[in-house]
Chains A and B, each alone.
Chain A
Amino acid sequence: MTLRRISIVMVAVVVACAGLNAAQAAMEKEGGDKGVPLPVIARGQGDSCVADTQLMRRNHMTMLRHQRDETMRDGIRGKQYSLKECVACHAVMGPDAMPVTVASPEHFCRSCHDYAAVNIDCFGCHASRPEPSVAVIE
């Protein structure tokens, strides 16, 4: 009696899995194998960033958070990592030849954060583009 029940359940599970696999295969056939489009990341000015690209990708948030407290509380300024400098160096020009704000999907920070689906809180308070007079360097 019990064995028969178990065997029925097992058969049901196998059938369900087969169905899911078939559905997934069908979806892949229709959607292609490209996945989510990669972000277009704007290069900063100059030869290199303040640190290695891989290091920046992994740790930029930690660097910024560490330094923000030093700047805010102790008045230590002009050190290596600065959100203001990131924003100024990686400014992306819009069609009006002005740097775009984070409202644009082309914004340096946003392009990657959209891809990674990570919300950025910085620009609730911080300027997401340099002041126009400063930005007309290039």
Chain B
Amino acid sequence: MNMKRKTDTGNMAATPGFDPGRRRFLGTVAAAAGVTLAPGVFLYTIGASKPAIARELDVAVSDDVRWGMLIDLNRCDGGCNECVSACVEENGLQGHGRPATDAQWIRKVDIRDPDTGSSQSLPVMCQHCAEPPCVDVCPTGASFKRADGIVLVDRHICIGCRYCMMACPYKARSFVHEELEDQKPHAPRGQGTVESCTLCVHRVDADRLPACVEACNDAGGGAMLFGDLKDPESEISKQVASYATRQIRADLGLDPGVRYQNLV
């Protein structure tokens, strides 16, 4: 099944519903832009050659796709928090003023080299590992990886034991301590269960970008690129093929789907 989506065409705004016509139009625009930007180089194969085809929603996701993210730290400003606030807004994560236990699906981590004084700021969320340790340790099967690489918690069968939180080397997961009400209809979450970044699975299934990526494109530095790592034609695949990128704690061999560029 071909599931090529042009979700990584830079600043593409949110599309409320999939529209193949619009897709093809965007592809054409991309081709035209390519020609304009590089005069003398005939780039007629870009865009128009492979129109994006969205997944039919009554067909199960498949492993022909692996969703991933590339974050360019040269474009990520230490003072910027747009991705975090977009996540809070999108998923209804408003806390209780208790930073130690409030849910946190994405956070900004500031690092500094004491020898040189150089510092960097990186957004860290669930890294959507290909070999997720949270899934290995889950006693009920609630922690699982979708075929397209998105790691999720099935709150229907989560018993709140928090083994996954212990197992995750990225501290990506949160436990919901308080009884909640007025959750977002697209992001169910409740007391006594563990949760983490869903890569905005409800948006991805609707052919939209995750909220953090959209916010970074619109209001931040445009540091985040979302796309299909298995599609050699996708922007993210081209980037990771062309430039040196890193996974955090790559030594653990978990093969995270989130990669960082210019991480020192």
Contact = CB atoms under 8 A, between A and B. Distances in A.
B144 interface: yes
A138 interface: no
B96 interface: no
Given A125-B190, A125-B193, A73 B183 contact: no
A137 to B, nearest CB: 14
A75 B146 contact: yes
Given A72-B152, A72-B154, A73-B154, A101 B181 contact: yes
Nearest to B189: A125
Interface in A33-85: 68-70, 72-79, 84
A101 B155 CA distance: 21
Nearest to A130: B185
Contacts of A120: none
B115 interface: no
A127 B205 contact: no
- A75, A79, A124, A128: residue with the most chain B Cβ atoms closer than 10 Å: A75
Interface residues of A, number: 25
B164 to A, nearest CB: 16
A127 B156 contact: no
B60 interface: yes
Nearest to A72: B154
Given A125-B155, A125-B189, A75 B182 contact: no
A75 B148 contact: yes
Contact of B188 (A69, A125, A130): A125
- A69, A74, A84, A103: residue with the most chain B Cβ atoms closer than 10 Å: A74
Interface string B161-179: 0000000000000000001
A127 B190 contact: no
A87 B192 CA distance: 23
- B61, B144, B185, B189: residue with the most chain A Cβ atoms closer than 10 Å: B185
A38 to B, nearest CB: 28
Interface in A100-138: 101, 103, 124-131, 134
B174 to A, nearest CB: 14
Nearest to B201: A75
Contacts of A79: 58
Given A125-B190, A126-B188, A101 B183 contact: no
A77 B208 CA distance: 14
Interface of B: 55, 57-61, 144, 146-148, 152, 154-156, 179-186, 188-193, 201, 205-206
Given A75-B60, A127-B188, 12 more contacts: A73-B154, A74-B60, A74-B61, A74-B146, A75-B55, A103-B181, A124-B192, A125-B180, A125-B189, A126-B183, A127-B182, A131-B184
